[in-house]
Structure 1
Amino acid sequence: MSYRIIPDYRIFTDTTADFGPGMLNDLPRIEVIPMEVSVGNDRFLYGPGGNLSVKQFYDMLRAGKFASTSQINPVTYKKAFESALQNGYDILYLGFSSGMSGCFDNAQLNMDELRKTYPERKMFCVDALCASVGESFLIREAAKKQYEGMPIDELAAWIDEYKLKVYHWFTVDTFDHLKQGGRVSVAAAIAGGILNIKPLLHVDNAGRLAVVKKPRGRRLALKEQITHMQEGWLPDISPLVVIGHGDDPEAAAMLKSAVETKFPNAEIHVAEIGPVIGSHTGPGMLALIYWGDNR
């Protein structure tokens, strides 16, 4: 498949975006900026040129280690952006939600400085207000628009218009990593473990991860995810559905089967949840992403 036009701009993102196999097939190249992840006492780089794989990451978490992430530094942003600018490309950065990280602010400040050096180039810094497979979902849809010939300024406006229609529903297997990151209290984590609660989370309109419900057991949590999709799916925008999992392909297969049964027209992709979000949610996370009107 060839491009309908030769893209005159590059789309950038970061390794918070978790892409599944085939999600970007035949679409313009996406530039992915790596991020630092600490696991226990060791520091790694995750993403292009990095030294941490998803499997290695979850093996360490399952061995009892906890992880944290670091913001992308300005030097890394400048190096990535300037490479494209020097080669004559305009740039659009679609970044990790500002509600969860300061990365977006760093990118925006860096882009403001680069505008002084490259005044002839168009540069857009768009806050995805999404994370992980939600972020990759939005980027994939943006890349389709780029492939179809949408100019960079129109695409930036399109993303801003539609990004709050990207619906994230997550369930996690344990409270341990949410507790470690300060997203739930110690008391809530202890009670959740005793009651076998599988908290259901979503990304709100401010781009923050929030606990919505506390179903007991994986099957009930999965049922809640499907119910939310039934109430709000907007396939007219696109039938794309992305299922993400934190080193739990069996649970992902179960959710995929449920989506196929209820929504036979869905175009489903399955992706692993990488270390950036996985640091806060741990192994066993299960995510359902779609276009909807009930965020």
Structure 2
Amino acid sequence: MSKIAIVTDSTAYLDQETIERYQIKVLPLSVNFGEETIEETNLGYEKFYDKMRSFPNLPTTSQPALGHFIETYEQLAKDHDAILSFHLSSGISGTFQTAVSAARSIEHAKVYPFDSEISCEPQAFFIREAAQMIEDGKDVDEIFKRLSEVRETLQAYFIVDDLNHLHRGGRLSGAQRLIGSALKIKPILTFENKVIVPYEKVRTYKRALQRVLNFLDQSASKGKQINASVIHANALPEAERIQKEIQEKYDNVTVSISYFGPVIGTHLGENSIGVTWYESN
């Protein structure tokens, strides 16, 4: 039976238990505060938001170097026949393309770069599904079939507190039509064709959140098991409140709490909230 390894970049924000259980290799992206560059795995999210709040300019971000990918793949190729490499959307970062370039130079294992077309916990959804299937002895074809099923039902919506982060970072497609009224609205954002786009304009955060929870209700009402997560940018009490509300309403929804780490938090800004889910087996 072939041995399959998993690689991901740090924007999946996997918990340490998952990383250790499935022996996942994590390639960190970095946050740049002026001349200071810090790998986000060395920067806790609370510390990051404190630092960003006091920093005069918006930090920038950078992807892992090509050599880091090659070195990681070559090391894994010594003991594995296949490597699944999961990365944040190619529409907002060059990380996936770097993985593709690195994969071409690996001779002793087949590397499968996977564009999650999203980031954060939804990216982690794919990884956990694949990791469990590897543990269960499934092959690459079976894994990719399941990942396609996950993608079909995966939904993710988020509400940012301040659109200026996304606008200045160039990560929001169609931002110009929102910026003029940014102080008056709380737009619901989503990923579409690998980029962040405005989904719907709503006047208040409360209404925006309720709209997102209505989308979840439409999925949950089908009666299938749903794996969901509330994602927060240094807004844990609000994330816990939303989690509790979902838990109390649905018997068929398992909901966790995750977070927007430093790299993604740079672009979304503090106090952003997201809700994501897909149909689990």
Report the AA paired with residue 167 of structure 1.
Q
CA distance in 2 between partners of 1:151 and 1:187 (Å): 46
1:96–1:127 contact (8 Å) kept in structure 2: yes
What is the CA-CA distance between 1:203 and the residue it aligns to? 1.2
What is the CA-CA distance between 1:10 and the residue it aligns to? 0.9
Report the AA paired with residue 122 of structure 1.
K
Aligned twin of 1:169:
157
Alignment pair present for 1:68 and 2:60: yes
Alignment pair present for 1:53 and 2:61: no
Q: 1:190 to 1:20 in 2, by over 3 A?
A: farther
Per-residue Cα deviation, 1:84-119 (whole angstroms, up to 9, x for no partner)? 1123452111111112111111101110121xx32x
What is the CA-CA distance between 1:242 and the residue it aligns to? 1.4
Corresponding residue to 2:128 among 137, 140, 152 = 140
What is the CA-CA distance between 1:291 and the residue it aligns to? 0.9
CA distance in 1 between partners of 2:11 and 2:141 (Å): 24
Q: For structure 2, which runs of at least 5 residues remain unmatched after alignment?
A: none
TM-score by length of 1: 0.84
Secondary structure at the aligned position of 1:113 is classed as coil
1:198–1:216 contact (8 Å) kept in structure 2: yes
Aligned twin of 2:198:
211
What is the CA-CA distance between 1:218 and the residue it aligns to? 2.0
CA distance in 1 between partners of 2:113 and 2:15 (Å): 24
How many residues in Structure 1 have an aligned counterpart in Structure 2? 275
1:172–1:281 contact (8 Å) kept in structure 2: yes
What is the CA-CA distance between 1:172 and the residue it aligns to? 0.8
2:2–2:82 contact (8 Å) kept in structure 1: no
CA distance in 1 between partners of 2:133 and 2:223 (Å): 16
Report the AA paired with residue 108 of structure 1.
V
2:5–2:83 contact (8 Å) kept in structure 1: yes
What is the CA-CA distance between 1:186 and the residue it aligns to? 6.8
Aligned twin of 1:83:
75
Corresponding residue to 2:27 among 5, 23, 33 = 33
2:19–2:25 contact (8 Å) kept in structure 1: no
Q: 1:112 to 1:164 in 2, by over 3 A?
A: farther
Question: Map of 1:169-188 to 2, 5 A cutoff?
Answer: 169-182=157-170, 183=172, 185=175, 188=178
Alignment pair present for 1:8 and 2:8: no
Show structure 1 runs of 4+ deviating over 4 A. 184-187
What is the CA-CA distance between 1:269 and the residue it aligns to? 1.3
Alignment pair present for 1:102 and 2:90: no
Aligned twin of 2:262:
275
1:92–1:125 contact (8 Å) kept in structure 2: yes
Alignment pair present for 1:43 and 2:16: no
Secondary structure at the aligned position of 2:275 is classed as strand
Q: 1:28 to 1:110 in 2, by over 3 A?
A: same
- Which piece of structure 1 moves more, 29-38 or 182-191? 182-191
Q: 1:179 to 1:143 in 2, by over 3 A?
A: same
Corresponding residue to 1:226 among 213, 217, 220 = 213
Secondary structure at the aligned position of 1:101 is classed as coil
1:245–1:272 contact (8 Å) kept in structure 2: yes
CA distance in 2 between partners of 1:286 and 1:142 (Å): 26
Corresponding residue to 2:230 among 243, 250, 267 = 243
Secondary structure at the aligned position of 1:173 is classed as coil
CA distance in 2 between partners of 1:10 and 1:132 (Å): 20
Secondary structure at the aligned position of 1:270 is classed as strand
CA distance in 1 between partners of 2:179 and 2:71 (Å): 41
2:247–2:254 contact (8 Å) kept in structure 1: no
Q: CA RMSD in A?
A: 2.4
Per-residue Cα deviation, 1:149-180 (whole angstroms, up to 9, x for no partner)? 21123213432443242211111111121222
